[in-house]
Structure 1
Amino acid sequence: MKKIGIIGGMTPESTSYYYRKYIEISRERFEPYVFPELILYSINFRDFWAGGWEGRKKILINATKALERAGAELIAMSANTPHKVFPDVQKAVSVPMISIVDAVAEEIGRRGVGRVLLLGTKTTMSSDFYVSALRDNGIDVIVPGEDEQEKLNEIIFSELAFDNLSSRSWIVRLIEKYAEKGAEGVILGCTELPLAVKQGDVGIEVFDTAEIHMRKLIQLAAE
């Protein structure tokens, strides 16, 4: 199988969740004790978040090149927000990179969901890179109001990034509010959000972006 390379550390909590999904999906898909080879490059999140997007892009490119040198044959970033600069990072290496946004759009189409609520960091919810890609795939996208975006962003960075689920009920109520407004599914567009919300916690389809991404990576590695 192809070797998988993952850029992690954005945050460590979501990276450990990715690794748990890697184990679960491999056990589900392959015979006992079989796992695709995986190389993890965990960046220093403080350095990553301290600068602007040019600095973050350089950190991601350096990590991607390191994974390429280490022999990775498929590379992924274990977070949604850094996909803001995904095209530039992909151009820096010859190894194919697997986009979480593309994997999620494919899964939404597979489940036949036409209208989704997008949750994530403020950057993910307010930028164009995610919404445009989904709409290009014929998916109608709802984003929360500005005050809700601010609050969710704060919860992600001050609570979920430290495995603190104190505001879980607020997130569930937010999803249910937009379900009443016509959302058929919710994209957990920050890979910390699946720590707080699972399928069945709300009355609509839940798209766990970390699990969807890892499932796609293992599928491609096995091919």
Structure 2
Amino acid sequence: MRAIGLIGGLSWESTVIYYQIINQRVRERLGGSHSADSLIWSVDYTTVEDLIFADRWDEVSALLADAGRKLQSLGAGVLLVCSNTFSRVSDDVARAASVPVLHIADAVGAAVRDRGMRRVGLLGTRFTMEQPFYRDRLAAHGFDVLVPGREQRELVHRVIFDELVRGVLRESSRDAFARIIAGLAARGAEGVILGCTEIELLISEKDTPVPLLPSARLHAEAAAGFALSG
């Protein structure tokens, strides 16, 4: 089994999902009391949040690449940037490492493709919904990506940064997200990607008219499968 290196703290609330799902999948595959060989480098979220809002992505890249190198030096055989927004620098992390880096958008894209969906909605931070680094990577898997209108994008972005990354879960926000997802479904989305790892803490398929694709869970499952593959 390869040791999995998690670059987490992006935020730590969703890094918990990664640790839980990876260990659950390893135990399911191997049985008994098995768990994953894993390492976590958890960054101070305020530090990186300040950098992205100041558009200092080069510094984010350097910080996360350094975390990847440290995890590799400790024995990680595969790396994950545990975030959709911060996957903007995943390729930089990969260039700094000599072990594979599993991109979250590829894990999500493979799941969409496996389900035969041709058009999906995307919720996430404004960076993820509006910038090409994530949407283009998804589109390369062969399906169309829809995002909400501007005001709805702003609402989703605000809830993520003002509530979810701080561990705040509000019923009013859950209802708002459900309405936004219903609107994407009305526009033809066959499913909706929860393209911020914290969103799956707030909402689930019981709240929505279409299937959800939870990015943190899919990324973690891909990591467990890769680690067990040899």
Q: Residue 175 in 1 paired to residue 181 in 2?
A: yes
Which residue in 1 is equivalent to 2:162? 158
Q: TM-score, normalization: structure 2?
A: 0.94
Aligned residue identity for 2:14: S
**CA drift at 1:146:** 1.6
Deviation at 1:85, TM superposition (A): 1.6
Choose 109-118 or 197-206, whichever is displaced more: 197-206
| Equivalent runs, 1:200-211 vs 2, <5 Å | 200-211=206-217
Q: Which runs of 5+ in 1 are unaligned?
A: none
Separation of aligned partners in 2, 1:35 and 1:20: 10
Answering whether residue 101 of structure 2 is matched by residue 133 of structure 1, we say no
Q: 1:27 Cα deviation (Å)?
A: 3.0
Using structure 1 for the length normalisation, give the TM-score: 0.96
Cα drift, residue 187 of structure 1: 0.3
User: Which of the numbers 211, 215, 224 marks the counterpart of 1:218?
Assistant: 224
8 Å contact from structure 1 (residues 179, 204) kept in 2: yes
Q: Output aligned runs, 1:64-213, within 5 Å.
A: 64-166=68-170, 167-213=173-219
CA distance in 2, matches of 1:57, 1:86: 8
> Are 1:33 and 2:33 counterparts?
yes
Aligned residues: 223
SS of 1:117's partner is: strand
Task: Give the Å deviation of 1:153.
Answer: 0.8
Bigger shift: 128-137 or 212-221? 128-137
The aligned residue for residue 8 of structure 1 is: 8
Distance 1:163 1:172 in 2: 19
The alpha-carbon deviation at position 23 of structure 1 amounts to: 2.9
CA deviation profile, 1:131-186 (whole Å, cap 9, x unmatched): 11222221111011122111111100111112222111111111011111111000
Deviates more, 1:198-207 or 1:208-217: 198-207
In structure 2, what is the Cα distance between the partners aligned to 1:222 and 1:215? 11
**Among the aligned pairs, what percent are the same residue?**
36
Give CA-to-partner distance per residue, 1:21-47, whole Å, 9 cap, x none. 223323332202111200000001111
* AA aligned opposite 2:71: L
Cα displacement string for residues 176-213 of structure 1 (whole angstroms, at most 9, x for unaligned residues): 11111111000000000000122332121210111110
Where does the alignment leave 5 or more consecutive residues of structure 2 unmatched?
Answer: none
Asked if the contact 1:49–1:56 (Cα under 8 Å) also holds between the matched residues in 2, the reply is: no
Is the Cα contact below 8 Å between 2:24 and 2:35 reproduced in 1?
no
RMSD: 1.1
Task: State the secondary structure of the residue aligned to 1:200.
Answer: helix
| C-alpha separation in 2, matches of 1:85 and 1:77 | 9
Runs of 4+ in 1 over 4 A off after TM superposition: none
C-alpha contact 1:79 1:191 (8 A) present in aligned 2: yes
